[in-house]
């Protein structure tokens, strides 16, 4: 099920990145916000789907994919390359990593210590 959710989120991200038309300007900097949220969501879904993959490898791969995704937009004639979108992608990965590390820390911190319990 985790892999299926990852695939759906990956496909949604690809549709957003490869859509020939940019998103409507509902508010200033919508592109930055969408890139950040999109990469944070994709990064968390990737970490959950591939939780047995070593963390340093996974986060490194995601950080490398963040700028590469912006180059995919060059395939679309109405889309343009933006350095700020790369920063938004990287920020999304960083926020996802931070959320994941906080989650795992709290999970370990609040798990009952079974070593001292009586059975």
d(CA 110, CA 92): 27
CB 78 within 8 A of CB 21: yes
Q: What pLDDT, on a 0 to 100 scale, did the predictor assign at position 6?
A: 94
Q: What is the reported pLDDT for 116?
A: 56
Residue % of the chain over a pLDDT of 90: 58
pLDDT of residue 3: 93
pLDDT over threshold 60, residue 58: yes
Rounded average pLDDT over 29-40:
91
Summarised one tens digit per residue, pLDDT across range 78-112 is 777 889 999 999 999 999 999 999 999 998 888 87
How many C-beta atoms surround the C-beta of residue 51 within 10 A?
Answer: 12
- Confidence band for 117, pLDDT divided at 50, 70 and 90: low
């Amino acid at each position: 099920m985790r892999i299926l959710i990852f695939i759906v989120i990956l496909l949604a991200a690809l549709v957003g990145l490869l859509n020939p038309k940019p998103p409507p300007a509902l508010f200033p900097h919508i592109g930055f916000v969408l890139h950040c949220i999109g990469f944070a969501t994709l990064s968390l879904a990737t970490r959950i789907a591939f939780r047995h993959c070593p963390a340093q490898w996974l986060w490194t791969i995601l950080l490398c994919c963040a700028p590469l995704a912006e180059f995919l937009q060059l395939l679309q004639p109405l889309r343009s390359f933006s350095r700020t979108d790369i920063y938004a992608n990287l920020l999304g990965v960083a926020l996802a990593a931070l959320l994941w590390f906080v989650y795992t820390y709290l999970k370990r911190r609040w798990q009952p210590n079974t070593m001292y319990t009586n059975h």
